[in-house]
């Protein structure tokens, strides 16, 4: 195994593009190192991106949004008062990932790139219309978070590509977001279903909404029908029922089965043979 510590994203992309075998990027390591120790993935090239300047920064963008570095741990999101005030749903989704110890290491970008449909950090990003900056051999591009995961454990990132930052749009006035999940236990569990909602209000009515569901399809899904079920409403009982019905219709597999860990994309759980 070769261990690399590039100092720019371009260098990191170059190492990855030139590598022949299994490559993994290392930020918090809460997925990569666990998979490595469980014998599930043994990278030939392990590319540690924590040495790149700025990866631990949370910055206000010129437009008034936020740019979150790829090595910012979950705990730093929660401690950032302004970010938490703007995007509480994004922050609380990430804060549900793992234990306190894991929170000290795990990153939002890692949660996204691990490709789990049950990732708690992702629905909030999708509902928030978050973008990521992708650096690769063919240059840099901006991609919607919703377009990164393509299936359990899979992403749309091409060989040599990696994410350099996550960008949240300006929150604007009269907006808010939230994330809730259902788990059989109270802690230390994987979402059976996760739901993020981001919306804006005008007076007592919902002006616009985005609803994202996790763990019910091969990727986190945006459910426009659920959003239109509440847009224009005062979130009365009828609107909530329409919202729930739209959510139920959107799942590809119907009610997820708690008794089939693999079917809900929970990994790593395959034992080494």
What does the binding site for another protein look like in residue numbers (CB under 8 A)? 38-39, 182, 184-190, 192, 255, 257-262, 266, 268-269, 271-273
Reading the block at residue 41, the tokens are 């993935």
Helix ranges (DSSP H) in 207-267: 224-230, 237-250
Closer to another protein at the Cβ: 99 or 174?
A: 99
* Beta bridge partners of residue 24, listed in sequence order: 46
Closer to another protein at the Cβ: 207 or 270?
A: 270
Least separation in angstroms between residue 269's CB and another protein is 5
List, in order, residues 6 or more apart from 56 with CB less than 8 Å away: 50, 69, 71, 72, 76
What end-to-end distance do the CA atoms of the chain give, in Å? 21
Least separation in angstroms between residue 173's CB and another protein is 33
Least separation in angstroms between residue 37's CB and another protein is 9
Task: Find, among 236, 191, 197, the residue nearest to 214 by Cα.
Answer: 191
Least separation in angstroms between residue 29's CB and another protein is 17
Least separation in angstroms between residue 263's CB and another protein is 9
Closer to another protein at the Cβ: 72 or 118?
A: 118
List, in order, residues 6 or more apart from 86 with CB less than 8 Å away: 66, 168, 171
The angle formed by the CA atoms of residues 49, 53 and 58, to the nearest 5 degrees, is 95
Closer to another protein at the Cβ: 184 or 203?
A: 184
Reading the block at residue 132, the tokens are 């990521």
Closer to another protein at the Cβ: 207 or 255?
A: 255
């Amino acid at each position: 195994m070769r261990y690399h510590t590039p100092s720019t994203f371009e260098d990191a992309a170059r190492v990855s593009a030139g590598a022949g075998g299994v490559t993994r990027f290392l930020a918090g390591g809460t997925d990569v190192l666990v998979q490595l120790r469980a014998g599930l993935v043994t990278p030939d090239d392990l590319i540690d991106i924590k040495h790149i300047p700025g990866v631990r920064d949370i910055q206000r963008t010129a437009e008034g949004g936020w740019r979150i570095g790829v090595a910012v741990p979950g705990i730093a999101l929660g401690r950032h008062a302004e970010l938490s005030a703007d995007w509480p749903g994004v922050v609380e989704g990430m804060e549900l990932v793992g234990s306190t110890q894991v929170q000290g290491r795990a990153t939002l970008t890692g949660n996204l790139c691990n490709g789990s449909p049950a990732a708690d950090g992702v629905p909030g990003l999708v509902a928030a219309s978050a973008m990521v900056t992708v650096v690769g051999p063919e240059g840099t591009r901006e991609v919607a978070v919703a377009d990164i995961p393509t299936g359990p454990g899979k992403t749309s990132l091409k060989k040599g590509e990696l994410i350099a930052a996550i960008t949240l749009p300006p929150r604007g006035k009269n907006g808010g977001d939230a994330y809730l999940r259902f788990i059989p236990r109270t802690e230390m569990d994987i979402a059976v279903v996760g739901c993020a909602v981001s919306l804006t209000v005008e007076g007592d009515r919902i002006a616009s909404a985005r609803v994202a569901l996790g763990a019910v399809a091969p990727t986190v899904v945006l459910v426009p029908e659920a959003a239109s079920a509440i847009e224009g409403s005062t979130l009365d009982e009828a609107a909530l029922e329409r919202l729930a019905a739209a959510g139920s219709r959107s799942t590809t597999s119907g009610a997820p089965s708690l008794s089939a860990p693999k079917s809900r994309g929970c990994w790593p759980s395959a034992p080494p043979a």
